[in-house]
Amino acid sequence: MTISSNHIETLKKINSLFENVKDRSWDYNILITETYFRPEIVELDNFSLVTSNFCEEHYGINCIYPPIPNNKDYLISDNDIEIALEYLKELNDNNLGGIFCMPDTMFNTLNKNKFAVYEYCPEYLYDINEQIELAGIKFKSIRRAINQFKRNEFQIEELNRKKHIEECMVLSEKKPIFEQGFYDAIDKYDTIKFIDTSTYGFVVKINNKIVGVSINTSHNNIAYNLVRRVDHNVDGITEFMNLHMIQYYKSLNPNLLMFNDGDDIEIEGLHFFKTKMKPISKKHIYEIYKKEIPLESCKKECIT
């Protein structure tokens, strides 16, 4: 998919805004933002909003990211949140629009009595050094899985849209609800990696067949897994890919501290795997709405 030059400039501006977000959730990256929301920027006095009419196709209403300060020293206040919700009211012509993907650090500074709140499934956080060393009995099963995978004759290649996209899509056949977003993420990867230079995608092959694909990014000493699909018939593939990814980012940034593997979207298998990897904590993420709007009135059908 070709992204127009004008839209690329918008994405560059949004990526620059995201650099002002000291503590952010998994969703605060340009690949996921572009893949699911085709974003636009609304500039206000002290902060900017990232939004898009495309949100309506996934949420049933327009929603926005939390206000993003125009400079790193500005702190978002309750009043800024209220201004953002008023903007959504005008955009939607109703009160149902919400502020999504609000990190816990921002949420904790708000007056909770002023807003209606919906909490996402939390994101799983891992200690980078633990995940690289995999020492001790608690990581015994992870070491075994990785060693079992390494018995294969495997190759790692950097993701390339033209070369890999069709074969990668075979890995998504059992997840049709996510298929379009997965395709779009790979389709736009080559463009996005030049906008956000921390973006890194790779495929793993066995016998010249792709058995795993992963797209990742990093920010403020945290690595993030954005997209991952694997052939579940290959033992140890996910554990091996996680290790390769964090070793890659650690080689670029020796001060890397944590790995954010996103949430489990209440899927039992994902919950089991992310728990098995021994997270050190979980990051809580919130949506904020006008206080007078019952949360059950806010239609949530986000596909991410």
Tell whether 293 and 151 lie within a shared domain: no
Residue 174 lies in a domain: yes
Instruction: Give me the mean pLDDT over the 93-106 stretch.
Output: 84
Query: What is the CA 60 to chain-centroid distance, rounded?
Result: 21
Whether residue 50 contacts residue 64, with contact meaning beta carbons closer than 8 Å, is answered with yes
What range defines the domain where residue 76 resides?
5-120+284-297
Whether residue 200 contacts residue 248, with contact meaning beta carbons closer than 8 Å, is answered with yes
Strands across the sheet with 222-230, in order? 154-158, 200-206, 209-219, 222-230, 258-260, 123-127, 281-283
More confident site: 45 or 160: 160
Residue 296 has pLDDT above 60, yes or no: no
Instruction: Give me the mean pLDDT over the 288-299 stretch.
Output: 66
Tell whether 61 and 167 lie within a shared domain: no
Whether residue 85 contacts residue 97, with contact meaning beta carbons closer than 8 Å, is answered with yes
| Integer Cα distance of 57 and 37 in angstroms | 9
DSSP H/E element including 194: helix 179-195
Number of domains observed in the structure of the chain: 2
Tell whether 182 and 254 lie within a shared domain: yes
Write out pLDDT tens, residues 101-123: 898 988 999 998 889 888 888 99
Tell whether 136 and 225 lie within a shared domain: yes
DSSP state of 64: B
Token pair, residue 7, equals 């839209």
CATH number at residue 152: 3.40.630.30
Tell whether 133 and 235 lie within a shared domain: yes
Write out pLDDT tens, residues 158-177: 999 999 999 998 887 655 55
Tell me what pLDDT residue 64 has: 84
Strand partners, 157: 203
Tell me what pLDDT residue 297 has: 47
